[in-house]
Amino acid sequence: MVYKDVVNLLKNRISSPTYSIGDILPSEKELAESFNVSRNTLRKALKVLEQEELIERRHGSGTYLRNKHFQAFVTHLDSFTEIARSEGKKPTSQVLRFELQEASEEIATRLQLAVGEPVYYSKRLRHIDDVPMQLEETWLSVNRFPDLTVNHMKKSKFSYIEDECNVIIQGCYESFQPVLPSPDIAKMLHISVRDPIIKMETQSIDESNNPIDYSILYTNVFEFQVKYFLPRRLSQAGK
């Protein structure tokens, strides 16, 4: 196991509810034995976490948790930008591709279009405080959103849809699947190809239940974690 793997394992551990900011971590010996690595490998991993200001190493005292990586508690549909800003963080989007395409059979089905209709395709890398968190691929109908530009995709897609197009987003269908990243995705998210990520397919809908967009997102779970609270609606019968 290389030290980068230990870095991600440590991040996953310290972000769990077991630890709170200010807690002392186990000794180097205990951590090295826990991960079955040498003390030298562990120290390299701890140095990375120290440089990222996640831990503080106090000589003669131990290693303390200074910060946790990004976590958010979500109670309703928020965009990536809104989630980051709600936690006092700076969200940015690096648009890697923005182009016109002809809708494939799958995209046409997802967006309820005819095969071959023009669609926008956007591929962007989402950052929070300059840390790559998520790779997103999105398709939208050109006929429905003719004024969409690359500058809109550098900001908030939801903001463009709601504020400029006056489309009310009723909700979003989401499906999650753990996968291993391709070499390209791993490189962009600064992780190993052996590190699992979350692949999420999303489709937001308007008030008439018409699809607005279709997106595939690949999330670095070692850096970006969202905890959801979904209220249960009770029927009028009080069940």
Question: Does pLDDT of 238 surpass 60?
Answer: no
pLDDT at 149: 97
Task: Express each pLDDT in 173-230 by its tens digit.
Answer: 999 999 999 999 999 998 888 888 999 999 999 999 999 999 999 999 878 877 777 7
Task: Express each pLDDT in 11-52 by its tens digit.
Answer: 878 877 677 778 899 999 999 999 999 999 999 999 999 998
Tell me if domain 3-65 and domain 72-228 are identical in fold: no
Query: What's the predicted TM-score (pTM) here?
Result: 0.74
Task: Express each pLDDT in 24-35 by its tens digit.
Answer: 999 999 999 999
Question: Does pLDDT of 70 surpass 60?
Answer: yes
Q: Which residue pairs, CB below 8 angstroms and at least 24 apart, start in 116-122?
A: 117/141, 117/142, 117/143, 118/142, 118/143, 120/145, 120/148, 121/97, 122/95, 122/97, 122/98, 122/150, 122/153
Helices 28-35, 3-14: inter-axial angle, 10-degree rounding: 110
What is the dotted CATH code of the domain comprising 72-228? 3.40.1410.10
Q: Which fold has domain 3-65?
A: Arc Repressor Mutant, subunit A (1.10.10)
Task: Express each pLDDT in 127-165 by its tens digit.
Answer: 998 889 999 999 999 999 999 999 999 999 999 999 999
Hey, where are the domains in the chain?
A: 3-65, 72-228
